[in-house]
Amino acid sequence: MKKLMTAILLICIIALMVVTLGLCDKVQEKEKDLIAQEEKMKQIETRIVELEENKTTEQNRKEQEVSKETENLGTLNVKFDPNKIKTKTEGMKYKNKIQYVDSITGMSITLEEGKVYLYTEPDNQTHKEIFPKATKKLEGQEITGFSSNIVEVHFAYFGTDVSPAKIVFLMEDGTVEYADSKKIIENSEFVSAGKIEGISNIVKIESVEVEYYDETGNSEGGVGTNVAIDKEGYAYDLSELGLNK
């Protein structure tokens, strides 16, 4: 009888162990499911944070673009005002802007992705007169050595006669750099000569006419010059800043 009871007890114990092990397995599976769900939730939360950050970044980018477009629109509306010359001296009267035809001198320049390339026609008669030592044809010669990104390039002629132009570069930071076309073409100095000192926040370069008057008010004739215009509309005569030397 004792043996029978012992056997029954052992069977019960074994059955209980089997049930317990089964429950343990189910608990472990549940724990794994919970861990997997928690990990999935973390991934979802991380993704939500990333999307929010991307949304904020994109929104900031668009706001910056709108701000830049608005600023650019404002600078486009800046016009040359003869009454807002900062470098004006006595006996000078500025007039409307003038247009030079650069092809007459056998030079052209392009701005491509922030880089400038110079082209020349040494067989051009005017080119020969301005650059008598030039024999090599430049076909997309890059000019380098700038301190900032270029947003505009301009041939600056001074005086009444066609003379070697200064190449003026309007930079992204509102400064202006220049290069001497004679040194570039005759001496192969394909680099910027540096910034024009004394001006900043420049948004536009224009060619204009200036007329000189004597002490009695009589006109002594007009010449061409170039002005740098800042974002407030004030203009600076580049010849008065020494660029015509």
The reply to whether 30 and 55 lie within a common domain is yes
The reply to whether 50 and 144 lie within a common domain is no
- Examine residue 158 and state whether it is found in any structural domain, yes or no: yes
The reply to whether 115 and 214 lie within a common domain is yes
Mind spelling out the 3-state secondary structure of 37-50? HHHHHHHHHHHHHH
The reply to whether 54 and 158 lie within a common domain is no
In whole angstroms, give the CA distance from residue 148 to residue 167: 16
The reply to whether 72 and 106 lie within a common domain is no
The reply to whether 89 and 66 lie within a common domain is no
Tokens 């800042």 identify what position?
230
The reply to whether 58 and 112 lie within a common domain is no
- Examine residue 243 and state whether it is found in any structural domain, yes or no: no
Q: Which two tokens stand for residue 45?
A: 């939360």
- pLDDT values of the chain reduced to their tens digit, one per residue, 245 residues: 656 566 666 666 665 665 555 555 665 676 677 777 777 777 777 777 777 777 677 666 665 654 554 445 445 578 888 888 887 677 788 877 666 655 678 889 999 988 999 999 988 888 888 899 888 899 999 999 999 899 999 898 887 667 788 999 999 999 999 999 999 999 999 999 999 998 999 999 998 888 888 888 788 788 888 999 999 999 999 988 887 77
For residue 101, the model assigns a pLDDT of 56
For residue 70, the model assigns a pLDDT of 40
Q: DSSP letters of 153-177?
A: EEEE--BSS--PPEEEEEETTS-EE
- Examine residue 168 and state whether it is found in any structural domain, yes or no: yes
The reply to whether 9 and 67 lie within a common domain is yes
- Residue 192: which residues within 8 A CB-CB, separation 6 or more? 143, 144, 145, 146, 147, 169, 177, 178, 179
The three-class DSSP label of residue 239 is coil
How many domains does the chain fold into?
2
For residue 103, the model assigns a pLDDT of 62
Domain housing 150: 82-237
For residue 74, the model assigns a pLDDT of 45
- Residue 123: which residues within 8 A CB-CB, separation 6 or more? 106
C-alpha closest to that of 235 among 195, 207, 193, 194: 207
Q: Output the pTM of the full model.
A: 0.66
Tokens 């000192």 identify what position?
197
